[in-house]
Structure 1
Amino acid sequence: MRVVIGEDSVLLREGLVRLLAAGGFEVVAAAGDAEEFLKAVGEHRPDVVVVDVRMPPSFTDEGLRAALVLRRQHPEIAVLVLSQYVEERYATELLSGPPSKVGYLLKDRIADVGDFLDALRRVAGGGTALDPEVVSQLLVRRRSDPLDRLTPRERDVLALMAEGRSNSAIAAALFVSESAVGKHVNSIFTKLDLPPAETDHRRVLAVLRFLQA
């Protein structure tokens, strides 16, 4: 079974290479950043990948976003996310797709090497492997709708954003100042857990949350 590893820690990456090789897997590539990882997957087309959530350059969620790219572009490749963190925003998207060939395990909660290898084989074989803590956090997040945090005025602003209106158009519609609208918009981003990011358009993401709800 052919594997590509995405892990920025040199010690952990080399440890995984040796562990998987000893477990009967063929590690065809091991990458230290998300871009290199995706290139390796495209070149080798492995059966399964093991990828960390936080990778260079920003060490936030590059690995998990790379996993989402793989799920969309190469659904035949199984994906096992191995991380110290539950990145709720993208984990929800990762696990909301087809319930097969996907796993999310927490590094600090893996107590047995054999169990880890069994989980990887299960994911590669078309099954799933989810740490109970991951499931618990995502269920709590789902029960607590972030939109419930918004004030009535912020909901009005978000509804107008969903119609494609600019801040000035929203201000005119609600008979408030444009600066007030800007403050409402920033508050919406904060309450919906949408931090600034070069690769994401927060206004679009906020609207998507509204439409999904």
Structure 2
Amino acid sequence: MDGRLRVVIAEDAAIMREGLTQTLTRRGLDVVAAVADAQALRLAVEEHRPDVAIIDVRMPPSHTDEGMRAAREIHRDLPGVAVLVFSQYIETRSATELFAEQAGGVGYLLKDRVADVGEFVEAVSRVARGGTVLDPEVVRHLLGAARRADALSTLTPREREVLALIAQGHSNAAIAELLTITPGVVEKHVAAIFAKLGLAPSTGVNRRVVAALRYLGS
């Protein structure tokens, strides 16, 4: 062992993967594997036990959150391997869960906001040595998600019941029939839900849809 940080890269875009490999190698890091999907990432981490894995959020086959799920599994099952999520996407719920499980040795940076190679390499090193790195934009989204979750917690059981039915696509009239209450009572519940979630009337904004999305996202 020569003391260099050992890195596994998981990035499905070939040019980005090669670019990261060359950049880190030139800066003195040892890229022991560079793979294109989450399954190959897990195999590479198991084989090489690197100091840090740099992981994109969206990878094959579905290009949704395979990378983020793999990052959480690695962080949970192999605490000696740090993880740095490096993506152009912010997956708020998964990121919250990732940072909640163990604060150290984890980071989340956005590709289009990294302007200095030296700072990026320093961030990789910091995470590998047990530190935490968070892009301010990611922090903003995480705080927003926390505030939305707090708002949902203020709903009464009946209001949550009404919101759940809204999320299922029911109209006020249908909700009234399902809950055996009057349409006027449903309207009051809906108004209270909108107020607690901070959804003021706004042209072009469907408050029912936004409220449903927040409920489903919780």
Q: What is the aligned counterpart of 1:137 among 123, 141, 150?
A: 141
Deviations 1:36-88, CA, capped at 9 Å, x for gaps: 11111111111111000011111111100000000110011111000101100
Displacement of 1:152 after TM fit? 5.0
| Equivalent-residue separation in structure 1 for 2:124 and 2:69 (angstroms) | 20
Q: Is 2:199 the counterpart of 1:192?
A: no
Cα distance in 2 for residues equivalent to 1:150 and 1:34: 38
How many angstroms apart in 2 are the aligned matches of 1:44 and 1:157? 51
TM-score by length of 2: 0.71
Amino acid corresponding to residue 48 of structure 1 in structure 2:
V
Identity %: 56
Give how far 1:175 is off. 6.7
Distance 1:108 1:175, change over 3 A: closer
Distance 1:140-1:9 versus aligned 2 partners, 3 A rule: same
Q: 2:111 aligns with which of 107, 114, 135?
A: 107
Could you tell me which amino acid in structure 2 is paired with residue 103 of structure 1?
A: G
Does the 8 A contact of 1:150 with 1:191 survive in 2?
no
Residues of 2 paired with 1:67 and 1:158: CA distance?
Answer: 33
Is the Cα contact below 8 Å between 1:34 and 1:63 reproduced in 2?
yes
- State the Cα distance separating 1:190 from its structure 2 match: 4.2
How many positions carry a matched residue from both structures? 171
Change (3 A) 1:86 1:175: closer
Q: CA RMSD in A?
A: 2.5
Query: 1:84 is matched with which residue?
Result: 88
User: What is the CA distance between 1:98 and its match in structure 2?
Assistant: 2.1
Answer with 1 or 2: which has the greater Rg: 2
SS of residue matched to 1:3: strand
Structure 1: give runs of 5+ residues left out of the alignment. Answer: 160-173, 177-186, 195-208
Query: Quick one: distance in 2 between partners of 1:64 and 1:149?
Result: 30
Q: Which residue pairs with 1:25 in the alignment?
A: 29
Q: Is the 8 A contact 2:76 2:101 kept in 1?
A: no
Please report the TM-score for the alignment, with normalisation by the length of structure 1. 0.73
